[in-house]
């Protein structure tokens, strides 16, 4: 039972005057992860002044539907020149570019939302800019300033505004990329860099009503101490594909990784952070270099704390899953996704889910702030004008 009236009040405020929130429009998950941005689709042939009403917004998954425009900004000698918008399309890279040969690249993930009054908003874009800067420093890359980053994202969202779904139907997923585009043969930082931003309308990452069923991976590891697991490097993601594929072939939604040293502490899921709830205590693994500091994670920690929960960032032994009331994942793509079960060494552990769960209330609160249904008293949302 939720022990704090704060979340109930938030939930009630979501329901007042918001017809599209009925029938659980904000809370649809599936046990199978939708394909990430993998399909090679062509940009729309519709003219700029047409709406995207041809889209089936009610059945929008998390696949690539390229929006009309992308943003490009070049950097050489640590100087980023003025960026520009162009039609979404292929880019040219040298076969000897740093990103192709040595994986020198980073990406971010963020969303633009359409409020009920039609206004477009971003959620905490400064945090994405800061995280990109942190990652760039780790990967020996220059990075755009916070203002340059936010301006590029705003321009991309505004140019593609017709692709932002109606309220309650999804969001415009925005993917900033920073890559070593200059040619390099020896192992060294690239001499030139390219900052790109493209976008695609998306629905929920995990579609449907079924909670996630995770598999604890104790053979493969996502990250190691001293590595780059704590930044959003492109090289962190392909290595988990084998573990994900193996888990899905066994009927699981995704993989939960353990620490690579002791193989006993929870780290994170393939592309999202993990939380466990016991009583009034919400715990999540501390970001100590091997775990990505998720912006949704950071926001949920603050929301939960404001609502009276005791939130702990610490090492969490896998055995604590046996006593947990709830488990849920957080991330830009998944938002807040409930976990129905976790299987570890042949033992399946089940957790509370459903309309009365804490994870559902946290989800509704966060999405309410992101979409303007709940007043943003924290200054997290940024209007796109």
Q: Which residues are catalytic?
A: 232
Taking the alpha carbons at both ends of the chain, their separation in whole angstroms is 42
| Alpha carbons 308 and 7: distance in angstroms, whole number | 9
Looking at the chain, list the stretches that DSSP marks H as alpha helix, in order from N- to C-terminal side: 5-15, 98-102, 125-138, 146-159, 241-249, 295-306, 358-370
| Alpha carbons 20 and 133: distance in angstroms, whole number | 38
| Alpha carbons 362 and 370: distance in angstroms, whole number | 12
| Token pair in block for residue 138 | 């780790």
The three-state secondary structure class of 183 is: strand
The three-state secondary structure class of 306 is: helix
- Quote the crossing angle between the two packed helices 125-138 and 295-306, to the nearest 10°: 130
Q: Are 271 and 258 in contact (CB under 8 A)?
A: no
| Spacing of C-alpha 23 from chain mean position | 24
| Alpha carbons 184 and 93: distance in angstroms, whole number | 12
| Alpha carbons 37 and 29: distance in angstroms, whole number | 18
Q: Beta-carbon neighbour count of residue 287 at 10 Å?
A: 17
Nearest 5 degrees, angle CA 350-CA 352-CA 357? 160
Residues 6+ apart with CB under 8 A from 369: 123, 376, 378, 380, 381
Burial of 134 per CB tally in 10 Å (0-12, 13-18, 19+): middle
Token pair 């649809």 in the structure block, residue? 28
What number of residues does the chain have? 385
Q: Are 146 and 53 in contact (CB under 8 A)?
A: no
């Amino acid at each position: 039972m939720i022990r704090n009236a704060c979340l109930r009040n938030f939930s009630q405020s979501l329901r007042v005057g918001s017809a599209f929130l009925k029938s659980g429009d904000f809370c649809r998950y599936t046990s199978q992860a939708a394909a990430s941005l993998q399909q090679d689709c062509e940009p729309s042939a519709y003219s700029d002044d047409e709406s995207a009403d041809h889209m089936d917004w009610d059945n929008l998954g998390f696949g690539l539907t390229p929006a009309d425009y992308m943003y490009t900004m070049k950097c050489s000698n640590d100087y980023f020149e003025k960026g520009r918008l162009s039609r979404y399309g292929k880019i040219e890279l040298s076969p000897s570019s740093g990103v192709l040969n040595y994986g020198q690249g980073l990406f971010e993930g963020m969303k633009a939302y359409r409020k009920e009054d039609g206004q477009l908003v971003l959620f905490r874009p400064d945090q994405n800019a800061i995280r990109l800067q942190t990652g760039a420093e780790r990967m020996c890359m220059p990075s755009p300033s916070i203002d340059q980053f936010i301006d590029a994202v705003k321009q991309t969202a505004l140019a593609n505004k017709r692709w932002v779904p109606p309220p309650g139907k999804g969001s415009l997923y925005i993917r900033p990329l920073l890559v070593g585009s200059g040619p390099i043969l020896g192992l060294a930082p690239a001499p030139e860099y390219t900052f790109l931003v493209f976008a695609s309308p998306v629905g929920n990452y995990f579609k449907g009503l079924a909670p996630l069923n995770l598999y604890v991976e104790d053979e493969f590891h996502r990250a190691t101490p001293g590595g780059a697991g704590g930044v959003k490097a492109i090289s962190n993601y392909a290595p988990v594909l084998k573990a994900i594929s193996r888990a899905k072939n066994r009927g699981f939604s995704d993989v939960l990784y353990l620490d690579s040293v002791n193989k006993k502490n929870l780290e994170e899921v393939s592309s999202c952070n993990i939380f466990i709830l016991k009583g009034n205590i919400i715990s999540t693994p501390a970001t100590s270099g091997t775990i990505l500091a998720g912006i949704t994670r950071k926001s949920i920690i603050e929301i939960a704390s404001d609502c009276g929960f005791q939130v702990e960032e610490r090492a969490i032994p896998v055995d604590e899953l046996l006593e947990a009331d709830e488990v849920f994942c957080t991330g830009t793509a998944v938002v807040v996704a409930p976990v129905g079960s976790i299987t570890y060494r042949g033992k399946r552990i089940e957790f509370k889910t459903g309309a009365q769960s804490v994870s559902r209330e946290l989800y509704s609160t966060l999405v309410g702030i992101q979409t303007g249904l709940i007043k943003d008293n924290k200054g997290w949302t940024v209007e796109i004008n």
